[in-house]
Amino acid sequence: MNICLLGRYRVSMLLALVWIAAAGCSEDLSSPNASGGAGQGARWTPPTQGEAPQSPVSVDYSTGKVVSFADQRTYEVKPTELQYRLKPGSKFSYRVESSIKLPGKEKMMNGFLNYEVLTPSPDRIEKHVGAIEQTKSTGTAFAVHADGFLVTCAHVVEGAIEIKAKLDGRHYAAKVVDIDRKHDLALIRIDAPPLTPIPLIDSNEVQLAEEVRVVGFPLTDVLGDSLKISRGTVSGIDKEQADRVFQLDAGVNPGNSGGPVVTEKGHLAGVASSLLSGDGLSNVGFAVPANRVANMLDKQKLPYQKADTTEPYLRGPDLAKRITPSVALLNVTVGANGVGIADDGLLSFYGKLELFEKREGWSGIFKISDAEPVVDRGHLLIKPFGEVSFNNGEHFVPPFVAILSTAGLERLPDSDVEEWDFTDVRIVPQKKDSKFVIEEDEFAGFMKNDPYLGKHFRFGLRPKLKEVASYVYHPAIEHASYRISSRSGDEVEIKKTCELTTVHEDQRTPFYHLKGESTIVFDKKAGRVKSIQFDGTVDIAADGEIASLPVSYKCTLGSDYVPPDRTGQPKFDMNAPPSTEPLPKIDGLTKLDLSS
């Protein structure tokens, strides 16, 4: 099963349900300008004294008139209280510690993670990350104001480097004026003769089983670029959600995104936004209520046409004639640093973790010298809000409490809010079986060529017994909820609850289930995470039993970045490993004879 954001994206069914649930909010849906009756809504009123003009604005505050197309400012990502400051040339380092408590002992992985911020030039990004390819897609938009303003879905135009709108047989370049990611809406503008806006109804009045028409340009690569209108009903309304997301049984397909969902009178009830599809499931469409469009226009101080509820119902052909002049086909090219997308920062990273152990009855912490350290290095592309668009790191911080390459990074909100959520998909490996092989040392090749030494030292002077394991990889859903708990000067304390659960086709008990809470301290002035402290439990299912084990994880920002020495270990005291002692002699170990 899949949910399709009809312009470009497709994600798993489970994530789709999370997305749909996340649409709810506690905001008041009823726009003061969305009640019944004819006339204009959102009358312009001058700002009160001291009120800052909204940006971007579509109305000149001094005159109350809509600005010209040439003077219309395009949408830009706004700075927020919490965001990473990735100044090229800066370097910083974290001390990383994780532990899992087993019966009679505690296993620990301790080490460091270094970051260096590089200048994100196109040549350097292509060298370390690869070329960022441009993609093309189509969507639908519709007129809401005579001066060239149209509404579509945010996912249709976000990241666009070029938008072409085809309306009434003519082509226009479009600007993005505003984006509302939370409700998947966008306001765009074209320089065109006066448009015919679609009147808005109060979407709170939309009823279950009400007849609607979905208008748009679906599947243009198959069906061509002529306008399509499908008929159906509002088959579901989630009344527990303040957003009242509409479920539709009308035909909705990729390319319909951003298209108007209208009543039989030709009034706007909603905006087609997403599609749920899959084997054994009839296609189900979803629409954003029209009152969300009204709220976006109110924000821009743009008047819009309110529906006259006394108008008669229209026959299908008459409705098509009324709506067609207001609907545009969008051809969108998405590329690097497109509109509404914050610029990426390019980081190089190098991290190393080593295994330590603490046993009951022993004093101190002991380094396991035979264990291979976890070493990772590579590059990240990261946005100011912590969204990682490229990561070639390969290792977790055991036991999968974090990804080593992003251990010092957390997801931040893209707007100034007190609470936010984040959902992602990871891959968790499950060890199935192992075999042991003899690993040669650096002298083995030399000795093999010698007739005498080759007979007695086939694997060199100091060979090792190495475990080679095979794994099964499980997808896992990670969900995290963040809440700002306090502020003190430049420091913001954030509480985070998180859960990571593997997903299995046979619906069996998850192999791996991690849950816990973190306390995060973010330094606003430095634009970095100062510390992370996680405590939780992990449930691991094996052989019909479930082991529940306490786990912890700590990541602390160093006072300075100091390059590692030749062994790869940082040289400053803060990042030094715990004091270690040789492992005591343990009886019962068998010495392996590797001479034959």
Instruction: For residue range 83-113, list pLDDT tens digits in order.
Output: 999 888 899 999 999 999 988 889 999 999 9
Calculate the average pLDDT of the chain.
76
Q: Which two structure tokens, joined as six digits, stand for 280?
A: 């054994």
The residue ranking higher by pLDDT, 481 or 565, is 481
Does 456 score more than 70 pLDDT?
Answer: no
List of E strands, 199-267: 211-216, 228-237, 246-248, 260-263
How large is the average pLDDT for residues 252-258? 80
Per-residue confidence band for 570, with pLDDT thresholds at 50, 70 and 90: very low
Domains for the chain: give ranges and CATH numbers. Answer: 93-113+351-379+390-445+459-558 (no CATH), 135-334 (2.40.10.120)
Pairing of strands 105-118, 91-102: antiparallel
Residue 520's pLDDT is 96
Residue 207's pLDDT is 76
Does 379 score more than 70 pLDDT?
Answer: yes
Rounded Cα distance between 264 and 272, Å, is 16
Per-residue confidence band for 464, with pLDDT thresholds at 50, 70 and 90: low
The residue ranking higher by pLDDT, 517 or 335, is 517
Per-residue confidence band for 581, with pLDDT thresholds at 50, 70 and 90: very low
Does 585 score more than 60 pLDDT?
Answer: no
Residue 133's pLDDT is 72
25-29, 31-35, 118-122: which has the highest mean pLDDT?
A: 118-122
Per-residue confidence band for 24, with pLDDT thresholds at 50, 70 and 90: very low
Residue 449's pLDDT is 62
Residue 548, amino acid: S
Per-residue confidence band for 399, with pLDDT thresholds at 50, 70 and 90: confident
Instruction: For residue range 530-566, list pLDDT tens digits in order.
Output: 999 999 999 988 777 888 899 999 999 986 554 554 4
Q: Which residue from 345, 353, 347 is spatially nearest to 564, judged by alpha carbons?
A: 353
Q: Which residues contact 124 (CB under 8 A, 6 or more apart)?
A: 118, 346
Residue 430 dihedral angles phi and psi, to the nearest 5°: -120, 125
Does 7 score more than 60 pLDDT?
Answer: no
Q: Are 283 and 276 in contact (CB under 8 A)?
A: yes
Q: Which residues contact 58 (CB under 8 A, 6 or more apart)?
A: 66, 67, 72, 149, 177, 189, 300, 301, 302
Residue length of the chain: 596
Per-residue confidence band for 575, with pLDDT thresholds at 50, 70 and 90: very low
Q: What is the pTM of this model?
A: 0.61
Rounded Cα distance between 434 and 350, Å, is 29
> What 3-state class would DSSP assign to 298?
helix
Residue 595's pLDDT is 27
Residue position matching structure tokens 């914050």: 342
Instruction: For residue range 146-196, list pLDDT tens digits in order.
Output: 999 999 998 899 888 899 999 988 999 999 999 988 788 999 999 999 999
Residue 316 dihedral angles phi and psi, to the nearest 5°: -50, -50
Q: Which residues contact 403 (CB under 8 A, 6 or more apart)?
A: 391, 393, 395, 396, 397, 426
Residue 437's pLDDT is 63
Residue 164's pLDDT is 94
- What are all long-range contacts of 241-244, with beta carbons under 8 Å and residues at least 24 apart? 241/21, 241/23, 241/24, 242/24, 242/25, 242/26, 242/27, 242/28, 242/29, 243/23, 243/24, 243/25, 243/29, 243/183, 243/288, 243/289, 243/292, 244/29, 244/203, 244/204, 244/206, 244/289
The residue ranking higher by pLDDT, 534 or 237, is 534
Per-residue confidence band for 293, with pLDDT thresholds at 50, 70 and 90: very high
44-58, 373-387, 437-451, 464-478: which has the highest mean pLDDT?
A: 373-387
Residue position matching structure tokens 């298209």: 259
Per-residue confidence band for 327, with pLDDT thresholds at 50, 70 and 90: very high
Residue 450's pLDDT is 59
> What 3-state class would DSSP assign to 452?
coil
